[in-house]
Amino acid sequence: MGTSIAEAALSDHDLLDVVTQVWRTHLGHDAPDPLPAVPPPSTSWTISAVVGITGAWQGHLRIDCGPGAAAGIADLVLDHPTSDRRDNDLADAVGRLAAIVTGHITALLPAPTSLCLPVVTTGGMERLRLPGCHDTNNALVAWKHETVQVRLLQAEPHENKIVHLPARPAPR
């Protein structure tokens, strides 16, 4: 069974510190403004990026943002002009940001830890569901006049069960 966030002693403030640090160092931009605990991005169209974390701690890091924030992230991450940008460029940029933030978060989690590749969806936030997980940490920031939500979700512990199937008769 994995370690809980309480055992890892990771707080919402720790998550916000990591987001701020990544914004400054990897995006080369002023840090976003922290927001009080408010609802997630309100736009009907969002980009959601998730990176799985496995090891002593099991779960996911998820970033949700609207198109304005995604475009701003893409401006800082991608190397081609804004006029050539497509929706999948926005998704790529948010996925890269999620991977970077997750890499920094793993330094605060118990070892060993491995990361999965980012999974990114566009549309509504409800399009990307993570069954068997619950929110443990939440950081909301304002950037490009939009809310960007970064969440850490822990996988519910489960028991591995062996299911014994009845024997099939041998073929004749």
CATH number where 56 lies: 3.40.1550.10
* Residue 8 confidence (pLDDT): 60
| pLDDT exceeds 80 at position 129 | no
- Residue 88 belongs to what H/E stretch? helix 87-106
Which tokens is 83 given?
């006029």
Does residue 163 lie in a domain region?
A: no
The rounded distance, in Å, linking the Cα atoms of 124 and 91 is 13
Does residue 98 lie in a domain region?
A: yes
Does residue 113 lie in a domain region?
A: yes
- Structurally, the chain folds into a number of domains equal to 1
Confidence (pTM): 0.80
Average the pLDDT over each of 7-11, 59-63, 64-68, 106-110 and give the range with the smallest value. Answer: 7-11
| pLDDT exceeds 80 at position 80 | no
Confidence of residue 68 (pLDDT cuts 50, 70, 90): confident
| pLDDT exceeds 60 at position 106 | yes
Does residue 166 lie in a domain region?
A: no
Does residue 162 lie in a domain region?
A: no
Q: Which residues pair with 107 in a beta bridge?
A: none
Q: Which domain holds residue 91?
A: 5-155
Does residue 160 lie in a domain region?
A: no
What is the overall mean pLDDT for the chain?
80
Does residue 171 lie in a domain region?
A: no
16-46 confidence digits (pLDDT tens): 999 988 888 877 766 676 666 555 555 567 8
- Residue 105 belongs to what H/E stretch? helix 87-106
The rounded distance, in Å, linking the Cα atoms of 150 and 50 is 10
> Which residues, 6 or more positions from 105, have their beta carbon under 8 angstroms from its beta carbon?
10, 15, 18, 53, 61, 152
Nearest Cα neighbor of 103 from 24, 32, 22, 28 is 22
Does residue 74 lie in a domain region?
A: yes
| pLDDT exceeds 80 at position 82 | no
